[in-house]
């Protein structure tokens, strides 16, 4: 099979018939063998009923239904597990992503050799309250990840099959799929400018809180990607540094106190000096950080997946 199209959705009953017909038209025009996987993320409207009706008329349409809303990441992760195509295309169900982009994305994966191609909605039809924070978010992600993409959160993406079968998306990590893919060893990542359409039906399912959650998720994925298998390198270093600063400050205060006593010079008690408590707090916090790193190492080393490494399979090698 050439292409699997994964479409997570939540309350998009109005757009589904038009979207599925559009995708089928593009696939037939390019002689692609394909499947469309709709992942209903606990919709409260008649989205699932429409998917069932569409599947009756088009055997290439498949559906997965969640009992409740788990979020876009859960929908994508489940959809990826069910795919059979050589190239996986993801898009949103609100008709803001154009299926006409599929042939070009497919070519970039199969002929140009990219692992992941992310859409870039250079011209957007969203309000400023959404576009300005998005630009700041994308800038911060570029700086922290080292991946030069303009639009990390674009729903329209293309993947080589091996990519989606070797990554796991949870929480709200769908924003960072390129980062997760790079972490998994797929470094050939690029972008393509795609057409962004105005929303035709319904309303956006994301509020302003997604930017706060997005920043927290960025910190999480950055930490896990760098220190997930070696937490002591982070917590141990930070803890040792803080303990050393606190210890040296305590030594200095103690020496100065002894010097004043030796010279018979009046001096305040150490317990009356705020700097003593600051130094003590640094040593306590440093010890806690070190212990956190130690416990993290114990957990990482006893994990059943601690020695799971991603291996790229090569064919036609001599015996």
Burial of 169 (0-12, 13-18, 19+ CB in 10 A): buried
What number of residues does the chain have? 319
Q: What percent of the chain has pLDDT over 90?
A: 51
Mean pLDDT computed over 88-94: 94
Which structure tokens are listed for 24? 């089928």
Mean pLDDT computed over 148-169: 91
In eight-state DSSP terms, residue 136 is H
Instruction: Characterize 4-26 residue by residue with b for buried, 16 or more Cβ atoms within 10 angstroms of its Cβ, and e for exposed.
Output: bbbbbbbbbbbbbeebbebbbeb
Residue ranges with strand state E in 154-209:
157-160, 189-193
Checking if the pLDDT of 319 tops 70, the result is: no
Tally Cβ neighbours within 10 Å of residue 171: 16
| Sign of the torsion formed by the C-alpha atoms of 53, 59, 60 and 66 | positive
pLDDT at 11: 92
pTM confidence score: 0.74
Checking if the pLDDT of 318 tops 70, the result is: no
Q: How far is CA 39 from CA 83, 85, 153, in A?
A: 12, 16, 18
Which structure tokens are listed for 134? 């998005």
Residue 129: band (very low, low, confident or very high) from pLDDT cuts 50, 70, 90 = low
Mean pLDDT computed over 108-136: 82
Checking if the pLDDT of 204 tops 90, the result is: no
Mean pLDDT computed over 65-70: 92
Residue 277: band (very low, low, confident or very high) from pLDDT cuts 50, 70, 90 = very high
pLDDT at 317: 45
In eight-state DSSP terms, residue 198 is P
3-state secondary structure of 222: helix
Burial of 173 (0-12, 13-18, 19+ CB in 10 A): buried
Mean pLDDT computed over 101-125: 91
The structure tokens 């295309």 sit at: 89
What is the secondary structure of 287-313 as a DSSP string?
A: HHHHHHHHHHHHHHHH-TTTT------
pLDDT at 50: 95
One of 3.90.550.10, 3.40.50.1820, 2.60.40.1230, 3.90.1150.10 is the CATH number of 3-227, namely: 3.90.550.10
In eight-state DSSP terms, residue 13 is T
Helix 47-57, helix 16-29: angle, nearest 10: 30
Which structure tokens are listed for 72? 């876009």
Alpha helices (H) along the chain: 16-29, 47-57, 72-82, 102-110, 128-145, 161-164, 177-183, 209-227, 231-262, 274-302
Candidate ranges 97-111, 193-207, 300-314; pick with highest mean pLDDT: 97-111
pLDDT at 170: 80
pLDDT at 202: 63
Checking if the pLDDT of 216 tops 70, the result is: yes
Candidate ranges 59-63, 260-264, 314-318; pick with highest mean pLDDT: 59-63
The answer to whether residues 201 and 123 touch, using CB atoms and an 8 Å cutoff, is: no
Domain boundaries, the chain: 3-227, 231-302
Residue 45: band (very low, low, confident or very high) from pLDDT cuts 50, 70, 90 = very high
- Range in 80-89, 127-136, 263-272 the model is least confident about: 127-136
Residue 267: band (very low, low, confident or very high) from pLDDT cuts 50, 70, 90 = confident
- Range in 63-67, 81-85, 194-198 the model is least confident about: 194-198
Query: What is the radius of gyration, based on Cα positions, of the chain?
Result: 26
Say how far apart CA 93 and CA 84 lie, in whole Å: 20
pLDDT at 316: 47
- Range in 4-8, 78-82, 309-313 the model is least confident about: 309-313
pLDDT at 93: 92
pLDDT at 209: 62
CA angle, 54 then 118 then 6, to 5°: 20
Mean pLDDT computed over 155-170: 92
Find all residues with CB under 8 Å of 75, minimum gap 6, and list them: 8, 9, 39, 41, 66
């Amino acid at each position: 099979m050439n292409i699997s199209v994964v479409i997570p959705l939540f309350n998009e009953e109005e757009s589904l018939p038009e979207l599925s017909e559009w995708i089928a038209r593009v696939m037939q025009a390019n002689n692609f063998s394909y499947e469309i996987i709709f992942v209903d993320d606990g919709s409260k409207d008649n989205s699932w009923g429409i998917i069932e009706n569409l599947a009756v008329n088009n055997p290439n349409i498949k559906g997965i239904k969640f009992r409740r809303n788990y979020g876009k990441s859960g929908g994508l992760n489940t959809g990826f597990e069910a795919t059979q195509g050589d190239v996986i295309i993801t898009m949103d169900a609100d008709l803001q992503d154009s299926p006409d982009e599929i042939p070009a994305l497919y070519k970039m994966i199969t002929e140009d050799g990219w692992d992941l191609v992310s859409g870039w909605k250079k011209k957007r039809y969203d309000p400023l309250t959404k576009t300005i924070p998005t630009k700041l978010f994308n800038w911060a992600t570029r700086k922290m990840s080292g991946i030069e993409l303009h639009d990390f959160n674009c729903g329209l993406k293309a993947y080589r099959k091996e990519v989606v079968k070797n990554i796991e998306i949870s929480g709200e990590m769908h924003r960072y799929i390129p980062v997760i893919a790079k972490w998994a060893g797929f470094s050939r990542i690029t972008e393509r400018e795609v057409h962004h359409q105005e929303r035709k039906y319904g309303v956006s399912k994301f509020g302003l809180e997604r930017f706060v959650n997005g920043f927290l998720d960025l910190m999480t994925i950055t930490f896990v990607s760098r220190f997930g298998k070696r937490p002591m390198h982070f917590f141990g270093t930070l803890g040792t540094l803080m303990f050393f600063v606190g210890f040296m400050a305590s030594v200095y205060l103690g020496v100065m106190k002894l010097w004043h006593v030796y010279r018979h010079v009046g001096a305040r008690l150490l317990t009356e000096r705020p700097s003593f408590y600051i130094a003590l707090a640094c040593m306590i916090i440093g010890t806690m950080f070190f212990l956190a790193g130690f416990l993290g190492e114990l957990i990482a080393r006893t994990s059943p997946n601690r020695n799971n490494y991603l291996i790229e399979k090569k064919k036609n090698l001599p015996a």
